[in-house]
Amino acid sequence: MPNKIDYCMPLPILYSFRRCPYAIRARYILTLLDVPVQLREVVLKDKPNALLELGGRTTVPQMVLSDGGRLEESLDIIHYALQHTGKDSVDELWPSTPLKRIKINTWVSYNDTRFKYWLDRYKYSDRHDESESFYRAKAEVFIKRLEKRLSHQAFVLSTASPTIADVCLFPFIRQFVGVDTKWFETSEYANVRRWLNWFLESTEFKAVMTKFEKWQPEQDVVLFPAQAK
Ligand SMILES: N[C@@H](CCC(=O)N[C@@H](CS)C(=O)NCC(=O)O)C(=O)O
């Protein structure tokens, strides 16, 4: 079935930053569901005027729709992709059962608030009052919860395939691992390692991490995911 995109309309514009975990989760879903956008790679310290002139929020990822509508949150972009794909994996990624949806939102919200708070301190402990190991222990509360969950099923809410909870979490867990990879490799978190590697080794992740030049207004349109390898 073709994607539910009207090809007469200009494609939505996605302002994105390659390493941003929120942008990674959005690009991962766009890739998985093959929903096309015009990608504009942003350098956070030098945001393009086209983004600044929109006014209001200038965080990335941010999507500007052909009717001028804006999606300013990674989760809104994910839901846009779920609604505009022709792929049939939507029900696996975002199951219709209300309880599952509540659970997905709870995991994502814990990740984006409490875990992210401690992760930022762990990443930049030199800018804060406590030691790296102090902040790591705080962040590990979430990692332990995830490990427990993944010790009896392959994904956060399912044994068979990821939901958007997994996709939303993994870019942040990747950052956690990146602070001290050696420590993580020998840590007790074998199931988190297995789960994270599943994403990192996926073809979608490789496409998501394709390097694009900083966007300039005069450059040719970059079609994503089509131009991602
Ligand atoms: N809640 C937002 C967070 C987005 C966010 O904080 N993005 C960071 C980059 S990882 C950003 O744009 N920082 C630059 C800024 O705040 O101006 C989402 O889910 O999209």
User: What is the tens place of the pLDDT at every residue in 67-118?
Assistant: 999 999 999 999 999 999 999 999 999 999 999 999 999 999 999 999 999 9
Q: Whose CA is nearest to atom 13 of ligand 1?
A: 59
For the chain, domains (ranges, CATH) are 13-89+205-224 (3.40.30.10), 91-202 (1.20.1050.10)
Question: Residue 2 — very low, low, confident or very high, per pLDDT cuts 50/70/90?
Answer: very low
pLDDT in the model for residue 1: 46
Residue matched to tokens 């984006």: 112
Distance 61 CA to ligand 1 centre (A): 7
* Ligand 1 pocket residues where CB is under 6 Å: 17, 20, 22, 44, 58-61, 73-74
pLDDT in the model for residue 9: 73
Could you tell me whether strands 37-41 and 13-16 are parallel, antiparallel, or unpaired per DSSP bridges? parallel
Q: How far apart are CA 191 and CA 145, in angstroms?
A: 11
Choice from 59, 72, 123 to test ligand 1 binding pocket (greatest atom count within 8 A of CB)? 59
Average pLDDT, the chain: 95
Is-contact 24 171, C-beta < 8 A? yes
